[in-house]
Structure 1
Amino acid sequence: MGRKFIDCREIPSDVKCSLALVADTENELVEAAVLHAVNVHHHQDTPELRNRIRSAIREGSPPAEAAHRAA
């Protein structure tokens, strides 16, 4: 089982967040990312948010530097 990650630097945001979350399972990662999205980015925990988070999950570990900075 490989690591999975989501990197806020790759998601457009007014906050310009630099947080990256890493976990062994997709479910664990989604739960952590939802908490972050709700508490920091003020999103509502909805099925649509969870689907967007799941679609942003990648295999491996986040790069040390972002490919591009979210606007």
Structure 2
Amino acid sequence: MNRKYIDCREFPSDMHCTVAIAADDDQELIEAAVQHAVTVHQHQDTPELREQIRQLFHEGTPPVEAPAAHAH
């Protein structure tokens, strides 16, 4: 089982979110990331959102330094 993470610092937002979430299990990570996206970022929990989030998973653990932000 490989640790995976998702890092909000990759995506600029008005709130400058610096949260990163890591888990050993994909299902656990998707549930935590969706809960964060809905609660903090006001997204709707849809199959499309879940697929978008799943595509953003990285292997390993979040870096200490903020990663470069993606252009939207």
Contact between 1:30 and 1:53, CA under 8 Å: does it hold in 2?
Answer: yes
1:32 maps to 32
Q: How many residues align?
A: 71
Detail structure 1 runs of 4+ shifted over 6 Å in the superposition: none
1:21 maps to 21
2:7 maps to 7
**Code of the aligned partner of 1:62:** P
- What's the CA shift for 1:70? 6.3
Cα distance in 2 between the residues matched to 1:69 and 1:45: 24
Cα distance in 1 between the residues matched to 2:10 and 2:45: 20
What TM-score, normalized by structure 2, do the two folds share?
0.89
5+ residue gaps, structure 1:
none
Identity among equivalent pairs (%): 61
Cα distance in 1 between the residues matched to 2:6 and 2:58: 6
Cα distance in 2 between the residues matched to 1:44 and 1:27: 18
**Code of the aligned partner of 1:15:** M
5+ residue gaps, structure 2:
none
- What's the CA shift for 1:68? 1.8
Cα distance in 2 between the residues matched to 1:48 and 1:15: 23
RMSD after superposition: 1.5
Q: Which is worse superposed, 42-51 or 60-69?
A: 60-69
2:60 maps to 60
